[in-house]
Amino acid sequence: MSMDDQVWITGLGAVTPLGNDLRTFADNLLAGRSGVRANELTGLATSLHACTASVGVIPPPRDWSPLDFTARNRLEQLSLTCTVKSLDDAGVWDRRESLRVGLVLGMGAEYLRVWELDILAGGRRVYEPAQDSQSIVHRIHSDLGLRGPAVAVAAACASSGFSFSLAREWIQSGLVDVCLAGGCDLITPMAYAGFFNLRALSRYAGDPVKASRPFDRDRDGFVMGEGGVVFVMESARHARRRGARAYAELAGFGSTSDAAHMVIPSTDPQPASHAIERALADADVDPGDVDYVNAHAAGTPVGDRAESRAILLALGAAAAHVPVSSSKSMTGHLLSAAAAVEILACLAALERQAVPPTINLDHPDAECSVRHVPNEAQAQRVRVTASNSFGFGGSNVCLVLRAA
């Protein structure tokens, strides 16, 4: 692939448990600060949980009507803020109506709140299509006057990972000049209760900061997080023509679907391993050239072991020296937005030339024998990163970023 055909990330907008801009996020991530707290969200039965990683009040975009903003549901607020911030950061906010700007977001299930309100109202409420995640994407597309295609992607925890692939395809095919891609998700009572009843959530009763423990032998499930990140992507040719700076190149994408079980990872590591291998091949990167792997590792006993086996199989002998960590130890698991916030973690690694740690990794599980980065960041050369996202139902995605 020629340099002109590369797809660059040229803007970002974020609202996360670790901060709402790359500098703050990177500072907290590399310092090993956790965004997990004793639950502050209303509507969750306290008997079900101890902690979450929430974002609190969502800041409105600049120059946006507060009345209009507060009238929208929280998922739409989150998606709108991240989208506007990313366009502004990329320097295309004032040019958006003259460009073909696409929008593809991995979206969560905030519309489940409609069902919750229906239950509270005794079944008397009427479903409103405007609450649906697909409609949220299209409403934002309309409100911002975008001229490209728009779609919501739903593939469980791999949703926003697929959004990057679709955006890259639209750019490389010439369908759009610029594309917004990423994901947003929020914690709702129904979603929380569902994961709790699946026994996927941590029951840790001590200090909330210690609850998310990927790869640790004492892990007992994930901590739910919320937030979102939306990125501006465009071809290197288009970015150079308008004098844009690049955060990184989206160099590779790989995906597979094993469909082994609705919620349990496949016992065969090959499908997930193939997703990693395909992403590296797509980027024309050898395993030994990878400087950092941001693992999906959410802290579930079976999930972390399954991913470790997949990483070892995909990287082969190089696995002995490629550092692997899980930013979910600090952000919690953002579900549909997980891949997006973990791409932000990879950008932090590329910018700061340091690998973020897995905090709370005090006793590594012997069955998770990757090269860990326990508790403290590791300064080193970082030019190529890989990020895994493995969703319920067997959706396996790997994304490769390269310094531009």
| Residue 349 CB neighbour total at 10 angstroms | 29
3-state secondary structure of 209: helix
157 is catalytic: yes
Tell me which of 157, 179, 346, 398 is the catalytic residue. 157
372 is catalytic: no
**DSSP string across 234-269:** EEHHHHHHTT---SEEEEEEEEEE----SSSPPS-S
Q: In b/e form, how buried is each residue of 271-303, taking b as 16+ CB within 10 angstroms?
A: bbbbbbbbbbebbebebeebbbbbbbbbbbeeb
Q: Which amino acid, one-letter code, is at 206?
A: G
Q: Which amino acid, one-letter code, is at 163?
A: S
The β-bridge partners of 354 are 379
274 is catalytic: no
Tell me which of 296, 346, 368, 372 is the catalytic residue. 296
As a whole number of angstroms, the distance between CA 320 and CA 316 comes to 8
Q: Residue 17's closest CA among 53, 42, 52? A: 53
3-state secondary structure of 35: coil
Tell me which of 333, 346, 372, 398 is the catalytic residue. 333
Active site residues: 157, 296, 333
